[in-house]
């Protein structure tokens, strides 16, 4: 569901036809661990031990990340909550209290990097009051495979900038076509190894290891996760890992399944959450009900959603509001697609803004900014008795 250039336009990317046809509406040392219970029409403008084929350890990266230059600003999401972890069905802060992160996804870094400037990120953190920024690393479509070093260095810089502003970051391996994430396992292993080595000490990174797998069974996606997660854990053993679900991260609903296949065969690793994506203009009661049920049985993170239909047409703020109300009640973290002038900002806003306030915003931007600015309810640290 993340292959649109504006909101949901195709611009020739493989997969849109398959989307419509299927339902209208991606190895390291395998360690078995205990289980704990994307405006319409806008196109680009600018070895041994089970190691997966094609895996090359990144040169020049330290074995473990160094500390950030300075701590997060007082009162920022990272300063208040510290390192996150999965506890039961929820995301929790370092004090053990359930938290709901709310934030924005960038668009493809290869197309809209001029929407991620110092000024835009400061506005996202301070004016929009976002807790988390998602960075979609498109594998194809002119992304990672066209320049692995350039792309990885860009992510390094954005993670550091977000950390300095006290925001969490989701590093998203944005697989579109093909739908089988195993096709890019070697590249993913190289990329995430370097990201984990460089940034583990910051404590603000979540790893989304596949965006929207499709036309593959859940067990195939699970096997991919169980090969990749141990590589991340070698360098960042405590960070949550987000795993895409079948049917374009619909918990299987878009492929006539549901959350039960994950409940019955979860990823055999701890500190795992499962992603759900929805577009309110096209994903109605069946999707909403699946999200509600799943959140009571597995840890769910809504790592991408929009107010339009899956092709970027129209806004259904009423239904989107029902989703957000449900997520507030159940402490389900969410990220909106997308923080660029192809979506929430009017065309031409990037790179100069303004990014704060509402003058440059389309209706969807006004709506989502208002939801982000509602106060967070982060639990206070537990105080010892006596």
| Segments of the chain assigned E as strands | 85-87, 90-92, 102-105, 132-138, 168-174, 205-208, 241-243, 272-279, 300-306, 334-337
| Catalytic residue status for 208 | no
Please state, in angstroms and rounded to a whole number, the distance separating the CA atoms of residues 303 and 289: 17
DSSP-derived 3-state class of residue 183: helix
Tokens read off for 133? 């920024």
Q: Single out the catalytic residue among 226, 261, 304, 311.
A: 304
Q: List the beta bridge partners of residue 275.
A: 301
Q: Report long-range pairs for 219-223 (Cβ below 8 Å, ≥24 apart).
A: 219/265, 220/180, 220/182, 221/26, 221/181, 221/245, 221/246, 222/265, 222/266, 222/267, 222/268, 223/182
| Catalytic residue status for 212 | yes
Please state, in angstroms and rounded to a whole number, the distance separating the CA atoms of residues 294 and 304: 16
Q: Single out the catalytic residue among 194, 212, 226, 311.
A: 212
- Look at phi and psi of residue 235 and say left if phi exceeds 0, alpha if psi is from -120 to 50, else beta: alpha
Active site residues: 212, 304
């Amino acid at each position: 569901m993340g292959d649109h250039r504006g909101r949901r336009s195709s611009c020739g990317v493989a997969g849109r036809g398959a989307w419509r046809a299927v339902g209208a509406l991606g190895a390291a040392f395998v360690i078995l661990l205990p289980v704990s219970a994307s405006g319409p029409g806008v196109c680009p403008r600018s070895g041994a031990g089970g190691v997966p084929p094609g895996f090359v350890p990144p040169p020049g990266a330290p074995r473990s990340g160094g500390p950030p230059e300075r701590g997060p600003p007082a009162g920022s999401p990272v300063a208040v909550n510290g390192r996150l972890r999965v506890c039961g069905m929820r995301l929790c802060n370092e004090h053990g209290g359930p938290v709901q992160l709310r934030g924005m996804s960038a668009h493809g870094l290869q197309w809209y990097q001029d929407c991620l400037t110092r000024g835009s990120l400061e506005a996202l953190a301070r004016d929009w009051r976002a807790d988390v920024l998602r960075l979609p690393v498109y594998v194809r479509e002119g992304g990672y495979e066209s320049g692995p070093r350039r792309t990885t260095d860009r992510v390094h810089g954005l993670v550091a900038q977000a950390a300095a502003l006290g925001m969490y970051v989701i590093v998203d391996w944005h697989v579109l076509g093909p739908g089988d994430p195993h096709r890019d396992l070697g590249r993913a292993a190289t990329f995430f190894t370097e990201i984990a080595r460089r940034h583990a000490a910051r404590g603000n990174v979540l790893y989304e290891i596949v965006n929207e797998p499709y036309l593959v069974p859940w067990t195939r996606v699970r096997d991919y996760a169980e090969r990749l997660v141990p590589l991340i854990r070698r360098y960042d053993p405590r960070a949550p890992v987000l795993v895409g679900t079948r049917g374009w991260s619909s918990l299987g609903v878009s492929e006539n399944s549901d959350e039960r296949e994950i409940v019955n065969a979860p990823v055999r690793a701890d500190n795992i959450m499962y992603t759900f994506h929805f577009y309110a203009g096209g994903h109605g009661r069946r999707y909403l009900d699946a999200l509600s049920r799943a959140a009571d049985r597995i840890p769910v993170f809504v790592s991408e959603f929009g107010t339009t239909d899956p092709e970027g047409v129209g806004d259904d703020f009423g239904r989107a509001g029902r989703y957000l109300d449900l997520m507030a009640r159940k402490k389900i973290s969410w990220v909106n697609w997308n923080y660029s002038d192809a979506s929430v900002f009017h065309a031409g806003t990037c790179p100069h803004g303004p990014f704060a306030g509402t003058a440059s915003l389309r209706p969807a931007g006004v709506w989502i900014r208002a939801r982000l600015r509602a106060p967070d309810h982060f639990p206070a640290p537990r105080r010892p008795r006596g």
